[in-house]
Amino acid sequence: MENRKIVILGAGHVGTHCALSLMFRALANEIVLIDTDEEKAKSQVLDLDDMGACIPAKVVIRSGNYDDLCDADILVNAIGRSRKEGETRLDMFEDSIERLKDIIPKIKNTKFQGILISITNPADVVGECLRKALEIDRFRCFSTGTSLDSLRIKRILEEKTGYHRNSIDAFCMGEHGDSQIVPLSHVSVGGKSFVKLQKENPDTLGKITIEQLQDEVRQAGMTVIIGKKSTEFGIGIALSEIAKSIFHDEKRIWPLSVHLDGEYGQKDVAAGVPVVIGTDGIEEIVEMELTAEEEAQFAHSCDVIRGYLKKAEELLS
């Protein structure tokens, strides 16, 4: 039987909940946690391993080191601290870049040939910095980007419309941050355009504005942080969905932050866009037609990311 090995850098809230979701869904035979705090990593592993008798398949979970990357199928970057109340994800930029200075040479010194998925914020910037520094193909090194935001917009739309979120098609694009956009022209319920539904129901759905939706999805993460100091469950399931799509070659369309080389008219930037995920990671970038307003908003979001990528290049050089 084929062994599926995932190494997770960072044994904090995000890294351990990624491991938890992967274990519950039996997506990997072997999961390795690496953290600068080795005792914490070992303790997280023991706590997770206590579930062993109650999950559907045997999973070896242990703490390890960078040598484990040599035969890893997927490397998950979840290093760094939690966002603080009042911070944007971009406010975490300098802290995250400092951590990259530590992990990049360590990854380079291994024979890692797998797929790298980065979560660390600011997600678009960190994922692209890793791709460039490690010289990995753009379709095999990317960040979770607007994956979590896309789960959140479905929840928000369910609350506002009453329709079950699994019947709602919606996603976010651009930065995993305050400049992200919800392309309303591609939101649908049961295959029916949400914009058309709004016209048919002016007194109810018609009162929902794109500004409201975008404000709520942008604030969603901070609402959780204010209440409990960190986010963890949503990103854990998002990561496991990506891993599932890779291991099962699902050809699933899912929003990820990938280096753009002309797609959507953008270059020299990584931003959240819908992609096809399969065995080799990202297999295709899906270019959807946007309205003129959505195009302008997406271009602005890319400019925000591009500006921080230039700063990162200077700090990492």
Active site residues: 176
Beta bridge partners of 257: 143, 272
Question: Among candidates 148, 146, 195, 188, which has minimal Cα distance to 168?
Answer: 188
168-169: strand order across its sheet: 168-169, 188-189, 192-193
Question: Among candidates 217, 221, 223, 166, which has minimal Cα distance to 189?
Answer: 166
CA 156, CA 182: separation in Å to the nearest integer? 12
**Tokens describing residue 300:** 């602005």
Query: Is residue 182 within 8 Å of 170, Cβ to Cβ?
Result: yes
H-helix segments, 67-115? 93-108
Question: Among candidates 23, 81, 99, which has minimal Cα distance to 33?
Answer: 23
CA 60, CA 55: separation in Å to the nearest integer? 12
